[in-house]
Amino acid sequence: MSDTASTKNAASKRTLLLMIAVFVIPVVLAKLALENDWFTKAATNKGQLLSPTIDMTSVLQDAAPKWRMLYVMPENCDAVCENALFSINQVWLALGKESDRAEALVLTTDNSDPKALAALTQYPNVATMEISTPSQLATNSVYIVDTQNNAMLFYQIKLERQDAVMESRNMLADMRKLLKLSRIG
């Protein structure tokens, strides 16, 4: 009788240890994974996050609060520039019914390429804004500017049209997500 009692007792202890292990080990592993950065944390944006954001209030102070895809027109508009203009136009069109909450905007200066400025007539959905001082933004990137005029994401535009189209898909995915989550603009 004592043999069956000790066998039952040993089986109960094994079951208890197994149950503890099943519930405790995953928690311990999760804590270790978080503390030691064993994985990339959940980032759903496809563009590169600007940290800290760039305040564009001085440039956009009189503009209505909208989400903006902003591009700075360089002195010489090359293939990257043409791809950027094409991309922001296409993304704005792809936003569909949400396009009234967003704006494709090109910042120009006195030194901006005049041929490219004339070519902007091909893109009636792309607005332009002349600025007097050079912007701190790079001319080979498109920036997402929030409704509070903070440039927060950017997309490096590529030389090849196919690569630029893929980057505009990323831009579109981020814009749709931002517009879905935002109640402003």
Contacts of 100 (CB under 8 A, 6+ apart): none
Of 67, 70, 72, 88, the C-alpha closest to 146 is 67
Token pair of 130 as six digits: 């002349």
pLDDT score recorded for residue 87? 94
Instruction: List, in order, residues 6 or more apart from 51 with CB less than 8 Å away.
Output: none
Q: Given this model, what pLDDT does residue 6 score? A: 76
- Strand 126-130 vs strand 48-55: parallel, antiparallel, or unpaired? unpaired
- Per-residue pLDDT of 60-116, as tens digits, reads 888 888 999 999 999 999 999 999 999 999 999 999 999 999 999 999 988 888 999
pLDDT at 1 over 60: no
User: Which pair of tokens denotes residue 79?
Assistant: 């293939």
What lies within 8 Å, CB to CB, of 112 at 6+ separation is 73, 74, 75
* HSE-CB of 97 using CA atoms within 13 angstroms: 1
Tens digits of per-residue pLDDT, 28-41? 988 888 888 787 66
In the numeric block, the tokens 């950017």 are attached to 154
Residue type, 51: S
pTM of the full predicted structure?
0.75
Q: How confident is the model at residue 185 (pLDDT cuts 50, 70, 90)?
A: low
Mean pLDDT across the chain: 88
Q: Measured in whole angstroms, how far is the alpha carbon of residue 71 from the centre of its chain?
A: 15
Q: What is 54-81 written as a DSSP string? A: EE-HHHHTTS-S-EEEEEE--SS--HHH
Note the pLDDT of residue 12.
Answer: 85
Largest CA distance in the chain: 100
Task: Return the pLDDT at 125.
Answer: 92
Helix (H, G, I), strand (E, B) or coil at 115: helix
| Residue found by looking up tokens 């967003």 in the block | 102
Which pLDDT score, from 0 to 100, does residue 44 have? 78
